[in-house]
A = this chain, B = another copy of it.
Amino acid sequence: MKIEMICTGEEVLSGQIVDTNAAWAANALMDQGIEMQQRITVGDRLDDLVEVFRQRSEHADVILVNGGLGPTSDDMSSEAMAIAKGEPLVECTLWRERIQEWFTRNGRHMPESNLKQAMLPASAIMVDNPVGTACGFRVKLNRAWLFFTPGVPFEFKKMVTEQFIPFVEQIADSHVEVEVQKLLTIGQGESALADKLEGMSLPQGMTLGYRSFMPYIEIKLFARGEAAIGELDRVKGEVIARLGNAVVGHNVTSLAQVIHNGLLASGKRLSIAESCTGGMIANNLVAFAGSSNYLDQGLVTYSNESKVRVLGVKPATLDDHGAVSIATVEEMAKGARSLLDSDYALATSGIAGPDGGSEAKPVGTVAIALATRQGVYSQMLKFPARSRELVRQLSTAVALDMLRRELQESPVLVDYSSYRRFAR
């Protein structure tokens, strides 16, 4: 079965917005074992839309169409579909009532223009949108079912999950059970990971994929059918054994999520003292609801004066070793921990660049410490210095990984093969 996607909208085509709907949908389909063949992005020109609907309907079995269902004049997916099919637009009474209800419920007057959203091609089958005024629908043309969805991400995702994927599975008439396991890794590029996993024999029905989102690479083990699903745990174990310290999480999308869960579960409390990461560690944790249960405080002690006054770092330490040093970052962590008597404190200090590097401490040099009630762990690393953002993201990842290891009672300091560790 051939599945394609057509993304409409001048704002998507011209880069005014990044097409996250397309990436999200492809990823969600992949997680169900459904592969997409091709994706076309077209602007808001009626002729272009009609042409692309006609043309692709001769090649694909199912086409997911996104966008162009709104009330304004540049929303023309329904009209284009009607022309492509050679049939009139007809008002869908049910949907007209739904829109009117929707506005009444929200205490707003319905503009005339919204009635347009109830006009569907004559042969269209309505697809419910429980969360908005844009009506979904599907139309058969040539060999393809064209499945129309709204551009608003929240409405789109709901319709894909609840309606499109079940529809595709029904059309395919061969629902095979699938399962995905995801491993989160840091510290190695995609090619280095692939080298380490080379020669691993995967059972039939199992595939291995990579997804890169800074500073992580996610490894996906995708099993199709009962036999492959039965082998998942064994294969996952082998991947972990081969990759060692690179694997930092299972079925999570960030290290912050691992720490969030770990601190909530353990009832331990955390303080953070950040210099080069500048609030990024705290910000990643506060992104999760409930972080107030464990986060005592985060201190972005960017100036030396702040390190001394707020954290109690000794001026002599800064003078003798510099702000980016094991000695300084250890005092930062200890100071941050003791202020509110937290169980743990993380501290970072580094040279994020692009300026400020020296021969002894080039851009990308970062000192990181974790203080516990028992003592303090610290290390100095040299990260790739491609961008300031990258250095800060990698520093955040390693700091969180140190705490993850402590929470899981593993050795806190380990080698990440592509980040060089300095001698103390």
Contact = CB atoms under 8 A, between A and B. Distances in A.
A129 interface: no
Contact of A24 (B15, B30, B298): B15
A241 interface: no
A365 interface: no
Contacts of A37: 42-43, 48
B289 A283 contact: no
**DSSP majority for the A interface?**
mixed
Q: Assembly of this chain: how many copies?
A: 2
B23 A15 contact: yes
A309 B340 contact: yes
Contact of A355 (B289, B306, B339): B289
Given A18-B18, A48-B37, A287-B389, A303 B310 contact: no
Interface in A264-307: 272, 274, 276-283, 285-287, 289-292, 295-303, 305-306
A173 B16 CA distance: 27
A180 to B, nearest CB: 13
B296 A286 contact: no
A280 B279 contact: yes
A17 interface: yes
Interface residues of A, number: 75
B42 A41 contact: no
A300 B271 CA distance: 9
B289 A278 contact: no
Interface stretch (A204-212, A229-237, A406-414): A204-212
Contact of A340 (B30, B285, B306, B388): B306
Interface string A11-53: 1011111111011111110100001111111110000100010
Interface in A337-364: 339-340, 352-356
B295 A303 contact: yes
A289 B15 contact: no
Given A13-B26, A392-B286, A291 B303 contact: no
A309 to B, nearest CB: 6
Contacts of A22: 15, 19, 41
A286 B353 CA distance: 11
Nearest to A31: B15
Given A283-B279, A286-B300, A355-B289, A35 B15 contact: no
Contacts of A281: 279
A360 B314 CA distance: 46
Contacts of A392: 286-287
A300 B301 contact: no
Nearest to A70: B191
A298 to B, nearest CB: 3
Nearest to A38: B42
A287 B388 contact: yes
A350 B375 CA distance: 35
A212 B40 CA distance: 22
B291 A272 contact: no
A324 to B, nearest CB: 12
Contacts of A356: 289
A13 B27 contact: no
Contacts of A310: 297, 299, 310, 339
B289 A279 contact: no
Contacts of A278: 279, 282-283, 285-287, 291, 295, 298
B296 A303 contact: yes
Nearest to A45: B37
Nearest to A217: B16
13 contacts: A15-B27, A17-B23, A18-B19, A19-B23, A39-B40, A40-B41, A278-B298, A279-B286, A282-B300, A297-B299, A297-B306, A298-B299, A299-B300
Instruction: List the 4 shortest-distance A-B pairs measured between CB atoms, nearest first.
Output: A278-B286, A298-B300, A279-B279, A15-B26
